[in-house]
């Protein structure tokens, strides 16, 4: 009844091609942005900001990056965490080595460095396909953290390879409280998400999708495969790199290279799958789901423990978490292989006909 585009006539091509062509969608987006930029800062406590919202946004950004590569360009990668590590370490070094370096520029340069490294590891994708490529990206996953740990220069010769991110300061304003960090991360993520949304509906995005659907056919109709794939790797790694920099600077503060391990890569891949392969919205939904679920499970198990007096030791609860996590992933894939974004789409279709579906 409320969600219907009847009567909304478009008189220009620009209006027809708008990001959100339906008026209700535009309002909904405005409400979401208002909540994120105004509502959350007013009401959210420090725990919510530091433990849930900031990691959610950082992971959403990394998920966006992987979704561009896997969901849009069809190149399965298991090395996202490595590219995050490159971004974090590069941003740290730009900040450390060049006096007076603006921190935002360090983030961007961190992303650019990650993009360059990503292109190097993307080169084999021209010849290697499918799972062979996935396993090949594991080379990046194991090689990069090793390199960062071994070469002391990267971590400024700290004993354990841990990098301690510098405090964030932009135009003399220190971003030291959780709230300010949240606002910074939110602004960057919102900007990059908008960019990604526009990128995937432009010429390059269409080329990615053509390559994903069938690369030989794409080549036949004149898409340059190498260039398209390398751009996908570069853009994806850029997003992961910026996410890594934010992970280090705004979320954790101190990062050891081993923190960017295979588990993290898998988590990001889970976010892509659960959220929806090839969907910008899905990246956010997936990141929210995977970030919130362990916290939720922990709370539920603690409650169960208290109510039934089970006296579970922490080892058992962490095992149970693993069990439930794995089970949920399988359950999700069986029930909705196209992810949360697809569920949302179905809801929207239903909403258009509500309350009189034929």
Binding site for another protein (CB under 8 A): 70, 76, 124, 127-132, 134-136, 138-139, 142-143, 146, 150, 214-217, 220, 262, 266, 269-270, 273, 277, 315-316, 319-330, 333-334, 337
Q: Of 18, 84, 36, nearest to 268 (Cα)?
A: 84
Confirm if 278 and 334 have CB atoms less than 8 A apart: no
Q: Which CB sits closer to another protein, 107 or 289?
A: 289
Q: Does the bond joining 355 to the residue before it have cis omega, within 30 degrees of 0?
A: yes
DSSP classification of residue 259: G
Find the Cα–Cα–Cα–Cα dihedral 168, 99, 97, 54, rounded to 10°.
Answer: 10
Alpha carbon distance 34, 53 (integer Å):
15
In the complex, minimum distance from the CB of residue 7 to another protein, in angstroms, rounded to a whole number? 40
> How far apart are CB 355 and another protein at their closest, in Å?
32
Provide the minimum distance between the beta carbon of 223 and another protein in the complex, in angstroms, as a whole number: 13
Give the nearer residue to another protein in terms of CB position, either 162 or 328. Answer: 328
Distance of closest approach, residue 139 Cβ to another protein, in angstroms: 4
- Please say which residue, 243 or 271, places its beta carbon nearer to another protein: 271
173 CB neighbour count, 10 Å cutoff: 10
Q: Please, what is the Cα angle at 86 between 211 and 137, to 5 degrees? A: 40
- Select 67 or 106, whichever has its Cβ closest to another protein: 67
Q: Using DSSP, state whether 79 is helix, strand or coil.
A: coil
Closer of 307 and 334 to another protein (Cβ): 334
What is the nearest approach in angstroms of another protein to the Cβ of residue 319?
5
Cα 287 from Cα 84, distance rounded (Å): 16
Q: How far is the CB of 162 from another protein (least distance, A)?
A: 17
Number of H helices, E strands in the chain: 16, 4
Q: Which is nearer to another protein, 107 or 121 (CB)?
A: 121
Whose Cβ is closer to another protein: residue 27's or residue 331's?
331
Scanning 309-355, the segments in alpha helix (DSSP H) are: 314-335, 339-353
Min CB(157)–another protein separation in Å: 14
**314: buried, middle or exposed (CB in 10 Å: 19+, 13-18, 0-12)?**
exposed
Give the shortest CB-143-to-another protein separation in angstroms: 4
Best CA proximity match to 73, nearest among 195, 194, 200: 200
SS3 9: coil
Residue closer to another protein, measured from CB, 161 or 178: 161
């Amino acid at each position: 009844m409320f969600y219907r585009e009847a009567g909304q006539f478009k008189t220009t091509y620009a209006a027809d091609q708008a990001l959100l062509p339906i008026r209700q969608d535009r309002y909904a987006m405005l409400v979401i942005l208002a909540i994120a930029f105004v509502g959350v800062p007013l009401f959210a406590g420090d725990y919510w900001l530091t433990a849930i919202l900031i990691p959610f946004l950082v992971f959403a950004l990394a998920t966006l990056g992987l979704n561009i590569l896997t969901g849009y360009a069809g190149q399965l990668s298991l090395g996202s965490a490595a590219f995050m590590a490159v971004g974090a370490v590069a941003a740290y070094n730009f900040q450390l080595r060049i006096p007076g370096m603006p921190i935002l520029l360090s983030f961007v340069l961190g992303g650019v460095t990650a993009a360059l490294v990503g292109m190097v590891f993307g080169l084999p994708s021209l010849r290697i396909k499918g799972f062979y490529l996935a396993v090949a990206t594991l080379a990046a996953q194991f090689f990069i953290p090793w390199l960062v740990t071994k070469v002391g220069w990267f971590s400024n010769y700290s004993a354990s390879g841990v990098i301690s991110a510098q405090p964030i300061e932009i135009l003399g304003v220190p971003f030291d409280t959780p709230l300010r960090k949240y606002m910074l991360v939110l602004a960057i993520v919102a900007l990059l998400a908008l960019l990604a949304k526009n990128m995937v509906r432009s010429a390059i995005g269409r080329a990615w999708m053509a390559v994903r659907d069938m690369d030989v056919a794409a080549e036949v109709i004149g898409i340059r495969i190498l260039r398209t794939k390398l751009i996908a790797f570069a853009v994806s790694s850029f997003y992961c790199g910026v996410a890594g920099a934010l992970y280090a600077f705004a979320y954790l503060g101190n990062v050891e290279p081993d923190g960017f391990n295979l588990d993290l890569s898998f988590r990001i891949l889970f976010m892509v799958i659960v959220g929806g392969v090839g969907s910008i919205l899905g990246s956010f939904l997936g990141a929210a789901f995977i970030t919130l679920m362990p916290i939720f499970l922990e709370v539920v198990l603690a409650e169960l423990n208290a109510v039934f007096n089970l006296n579970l030791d922490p080892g058992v609860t962490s095992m149970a978490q693993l069990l439930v996590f794995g089970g949920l992933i399988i359950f999700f894939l069986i029930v909705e292989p196209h992810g949360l974004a697809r569920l949302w789409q179905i809801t929207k279709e239903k909403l258009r006909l509500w309350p009189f579906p034929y």
